[in-house]
Amino acid sequence: MEPKQKLIQIVVSTGLLIAAYLINRALPSLEMWQRLLIYLVPYIAAGFDVLREAGEGISHGEVFDESFLMTVATAGALLIGFVPGGEAMFPEAVFVMLFFQVGELFEGIAEGNSRRAVSQLLDIRPDTANLECGGEVKTVNPEEVKVGDILVVKPGEKVPMDGIVVEGSSSLDTVALTGESLPRDVRTGDVILSGCVNQNGLLRMKVEKEFGESTAAKILKLVENAGSRKSRSEKFISKFARVYTPIVVLAAAVVAFLPPLISGDFVGNFATWLLRALTFLIVSCPCALVVSVPLAFFGGIGAASKIGVLIKGSGYMDALSRADTVVFDKTGTLTKGVFEVTTLHPECIEAKELLHLAAHVERYSTHPIAVSLRQAFGKENDGCEVENVEEIAGRGIRAAVNGKTVCVGNQKMMEDVGAKWKICNEPGTIIHVAIEGKYAGHIHINDVEKPDAAQAIASLKAVGIRKTVMLTGDREKVAEKVAADLGLDEYRAELFPADKVSEVERLIDEKPDGTSLVFVGDGINDAPVLARADVGIAMGALGSDAAIEAADVVLMDDKPSKIEKAIRISRKTIRIARQNIVLAIVIKIAILLLAAVGLAPMWLAVFGDTGVLLICVLNSTRTLSYKKG
């Protein structure tokens, strides 16, 4: 029910309750059952949805939920007047139901606010697109736009779909996607992503992906689905409710029947104890937890999205908060992955030809090395034929260029094909080339560390990460230098993707129980490791579908410094969820004890229950806010 409808329901039933009360005052000679009938009107108005839910619960065999508890407690209050010695409690029964509904109303409002806040944070859903069609520009729904259509994006507008600029230049604000407000300049030929805001120039773009496949739609879907992967605290709550509620119902039955039986005067004492048992039932509603804990996680996921970190489920938040070891991939993760070709060392062919062959073999690869070699060569389409491309992860690539088999990769790749490679002592990454199994020379390429990498490692240490490790397929020399520059605790070099998995497994065994291992990669050929780690973080995911799919946590930009922030947000969220669990349980147990000995009247029980719910819900909404810095 929408909060507005709930409010109307509460107001109407309050009116009916007052009317019923006045009628009863005016007609003191009414029989008990006649008065019951009069109070049934406001009772049903106030609680029809609760009664219906309780009925549905029973028909599905899920007896012990909060609706059931409220129904039993209020029905008991309506009927207690018919028990010998019992005092009629008709208005109280209606009042309890009403108050429960007020609690539900608050809960609905708080949840709505959180959802709205999160969707505002993620203000990336485009509402319209300006479609060019027959010389005219029409405003249409982005879902109607097809791949290949031309769109116009005016200054100040959101880029509605993913595509390529065909005319114009501008700078784009990517803050909604990455949390960073550094504008990105784009010109004709550049790829632009949905969710960015066009700041100054007019752009014409060709659409490359349907709306459902666009970056904005994917991110929104991820955030919306995040709630379905439950955290341990959430699982604990549902398990807890399943065990706890039947115990409470049983305890209530014991409170109602046992003391009067023992006292010897069952009829004389039953009404008093029945009332206590009913009060007991009301307090026992676990709704404060059932509602507030998932709400806390929802807010935490929203706060992380705000800084460009997508956490795919609250379970990963749990694991992040317990991080002990953080393992990094090197290329593209700690280094920029943008290699510069420094020197060419050809053997028996021309230097130009060496680069030419390498660039062609790498034509279809997405590996950062491939991208760099292609860029260094420049003109890609010179009519050469490239066939039978085979990428060997952690080694290199083999392909037939104009009919000749060319291998491009590291030393291991050369050993595989029996080419006699030369040792080279220059620093940096070395890419060897072999033609038809014969060594043709090597290419020196150099990568640079990301500007925030060293600070990212330092800040992880500062939040208590015990160990930082770098795994790479690159040479020992390169790895040693990067590890020393950045202050990593450990590094392993010359690894294949499968070795990276076994290294991660070893590190998982070494870490203390109850903590978790985080692996950070760029999603290119490290999907198996991302999957094996307790939490797999892919970075630079803006525009890379593979990374978005493989990882548990996605960093939209490629800043390793976001990891420490994600850990801090997770810890805060878990702390708030725990506070709620402890607070709710302590207050409830206190009221339960008071109720059992008759010191808590029924209204106090309801008040306590709703109060705890409210405090917990408000506490949960704190997870939404995260101070940058």
Q: Which is nearer to ligand ADP, 525 or 570 (CB)?
A: 525
Q: Which residue is nearest to Mg ion (CB)?
A: 331
Q: Which is nearer to ligand ADP, 346 or 601 (CB)?
A: 346
Question: Judged by CB under 6 A, how many residues of this single chain contact ligand ADP?
Answer: 21
Q: Which is nearer to ligand ADP, 160 or 394 (CB)?
A: 394
Task: Map residue 117 onto helix, strand or coil.
Answer: helix
Angle at 321 (CA atoms; ends 318, 326), nearest 5 degrees: 115
Determine which residue in the list 6, 322, 395, 450 makes contact with ligand ADP, applying CB under 6 A: 395
Q: Does 474 engage in binding with ligand ADP (CB under 6 A)?
A: yes
How far apart are CB 563 and ligand ADP at their closest, in Å? 17
Q: Does 409 engage in binding with ligand ADP (CB under 6 A)?
A: yes
Distance of alpha carbon 311 from alpha carbon 302, whole angstroms: 9
Q: Which is nearer to Mg ion, 57 or 528 (CB)?
A: 528
Q: Which helix (H) or strand (E) holds 109?
A: helix 90-121
How far apart are CB 525 and Mg ion at their closest, in Å? 6
The pattern of x and - marking residues 295 through 334 that bind ligand ADP according to CB under 6 A reads ----------------------------------xxx---
Distance of alpha carbon 90 from alpha carbon 80, whole angstroms: 9
How far apart are CB 474 and ligand ADP at their closest, in Å? 4
Q: Which is nearer to ligand ADP, 363 or 467 (CB)?
A: 363
Written as one letter, the residue type at 178 is T
Distance of CA 598 to the CA centre of its chain: 45
Q: Does 394 engage in binding with ligand ADP (CB under 6 A)?
A: yes
Determine which residue in the list 397, 507, 569, 624 makes contact with ligand ADP, applying CB under 6 A: 397
Determine which residue in the list 472, 516, 544, 610 makes contact with ligand ADP, applying CB under 6 A: 472
The pattern of x and - marking residues 312 through 351 that bind Mg ion according to CB under 5 A reads -----------------x-x--------------------
Determine which residue in the list 473, 523, 560, 608 makes contact with ligand ADP, applying CB under 6 A: 473
Residues 213-242 close enough to bind ligand ADP by CB under 6 A = none
Distance of alpha carbon 160 from alpha carbon 141, whole angstroms: 9
Task: Map residue 489 onto helix, strand or coil.
Answer: coil
Q: How many CB atoms lie within 10 A of CB 549?
A: 14
Q: Does 248 engage in binding with ligand ADP (CB under 6 A)?
A: no
Known catalytic residues are: 329
Distance of alpha carbon 627 from alpha carbon 624, whole angstroms: 10
The tokens of 47 are what? Answer: 């609680």
Residues 497-536 close enough to bind ligand ADP by CB under 6 A = 525
The bridge status of strand 170-173 relative to strand 184-186 is antiparallel
Q: Which is nearer to ligand ADP, 99 or 339 (CB)?
A: 339
Angle at 39 (CA atoms; ends 34, 45), nearest 5 degrees: 140
Written as one letter, the residue type at 116 is R
Segment contacting ligand ADP by CB under 6 A, of 107-115, 135-143, 148-156, 390-398: 390-398
Segment contacting ligand ADP by CB under 6 A, of 3-11, 320-328, 365-373, 535-543: 365-373
The tokens of 494 are what? Answer: 């010359």
How far apart are CB 156 and ligand ADP at their closest, in Å? 40
Select from ligand ADP, Mg ion, none the partner in contact with residue 362, using the beta carbon and a kind-dependent cut-off of 5 to 8 Å. Answer: ligand ADP
Closest by alpha carbon to 326, among 480, 499, 500, 507? 507
Please measure the distance between the N-terminal and C-terminal CA atoms of the chain and give it in whole angstroms. Answer: 39
Closest by alpha carbon to 70, among 42, 95, 34, 89? 95
Which residues face 443 on adjacent strands? 344, 431
The tokens of 144 are what? Answer: 């109607």
Question: Judged by CB under 5 A, how many residues of this single chain contact Mg ion?
Answer: 2
Q: Does 255 engage in binding with ligand ADP (CB under 6 A)?
A: no
Q: Does 396 engage in binding with ligand ADP (CB under 6 A)?
A: yes
Q: Quick one: residue 134, left, alpha or beta (phi over 0 = left, psi -120 to 50 = alpha)?
A: left
Written as one letter, the residue type at 307 is I
3-state secondary structure 339-352: CEEEEEEECCCCHH
How far apart are CB 331 and ligand ADP at their closest, in Å? 3
Q: Which is nearer to Mg ion, 173 or 557 (CB)?
A: 557
Q: Does 234 engage in binding with Mg ion (CB under 5 A)?
A: no
How far apart are CB 520 and ligand ADP at their closest, in Å? 11
Q: Does 453 engage in binding with ligand ADP (CB under 6 A)?
A: no
- Burial code (b: 16+ CB inside 10 Å, e: under 16) for 331-348 equals bbbbbbbebebeebbbbe
Q: Which is nearer to Mg ion, 111 or 329 (CB)?
A: 329
Q: Which is nearer to ligand ADP, 232 or 477 (CB)?
A: 477
Distance of alpha carbon 566 from alpha carbon 538, whole angstroms: 13
Q: Does 362 engage in binding with ligand ADP (CB under 6 A)?
A: yes
Per-residue DSSP letter, 75: H
Per-residue DSSP letter, 449: B
DSSP letter string, 566-588: HHHHHHHHHHHHHHHHHHHHHHH
Catalog residues that contact ligand ADP under the rule CB under 6 A.
Answer: 329-331, 362, 365, 367, 369-370, 394-397, 408-410, 429, 431, 472-474, 525
Catalog residues that contact Mg ion under the rule CB under 5 A.
Answer: 329, 331
